[in-house]
Amino acid sequence: MSFYDVTVPAFLQILGSLTGILTKAEAHCKAKNIAPEVLLGARLYPDMLPLSKQIQLASDFAAKGCARLTHSEVPTTPDTEKTFDELKARLAKTIDYVKSYKPAQFEGADLRDVTFPVGPSNTMTLKGQQFLTGFAFPNFYFHAAIAHGILRHNGVEIGKRDFLGVN
């Protein structure tokens, strides 16, 4: 199995599932007469980031993770989304971006040095495999799982199959 096969499909699966749970969340708001901003601003705990930011961060970890692993230019995306449609458009753009990578770009990426920011003024360097399994994937899955948890906690009828994108 190639490093591309370990990376790109995993990101695409969950990015797609996030699109699906946002669609269900939007339908939930309409059915229950809930203002969309209520769910988009919902948090699991007051000191945690809201749903919209969880989606933005999951998107960033997928796109930036691929860029860093392949030593491509790291994309910057402003966090301006305020609606379900805008967040779904961001996910669609991220999906297209991740799909644009080719297997050859990932050849040797598991052994490449990957330097990335940790905090506002520090950087860290890891080998590609360590970066992916110890930083990019854990952060990506954390934010995706928190987004799922926020919606489930707020009554959106979603489950593990929705998170996995296998409905």
83-134 per-position pLDDT tens digit: 999 999 999 999 999 999 999 999 999 999 999 999 889 999 999 999 999 9
Contacts (Cβ under 8 Å, ≥6 apart) of 72:
66, 105
Q: pLDDT of 127-160, one tens digit each?
A: 999 999 999 999 999 999 999 999 999 999 999 9
Position 114, amino acid = V
pLDDT of residue 148: 98
Residue owning tokens 């229950």 = 32
Q: pLDDT of 50-71, one tens digit each?
A: 999 999 999 999 999 999 999 9
pLDDT of residue 1: 86
Is 125 buried (19+), middle (13-18) or exposed (0-12) by CB count in 10 A? exposed
pLDDT of residue 115: 96
Superfamily of segment(s) 3-164? dinb family like domain (1.20.120.450)
Query: What ranges make up the beta strands (E) of the chain?
Result: 113-117, 123-127
Over residues 24-37, mean pLDDT: 97
The residues spanned by each domain of the chain are: 3-164
pLDDT of residue 166: 87
Q: Which of 37, 13, 25 is nearest to 94 (CA)?
A: 13
pLDDT of residue 126: 98
State the average pLDDT for the chain.
97
Q: How far is CA 149 from CA 33, 47, 100, 107, in A?
A: 21, 15, 30, 35
Q: Which of 117, 152, 120 is nearest to 28 (CA)?
A: 152
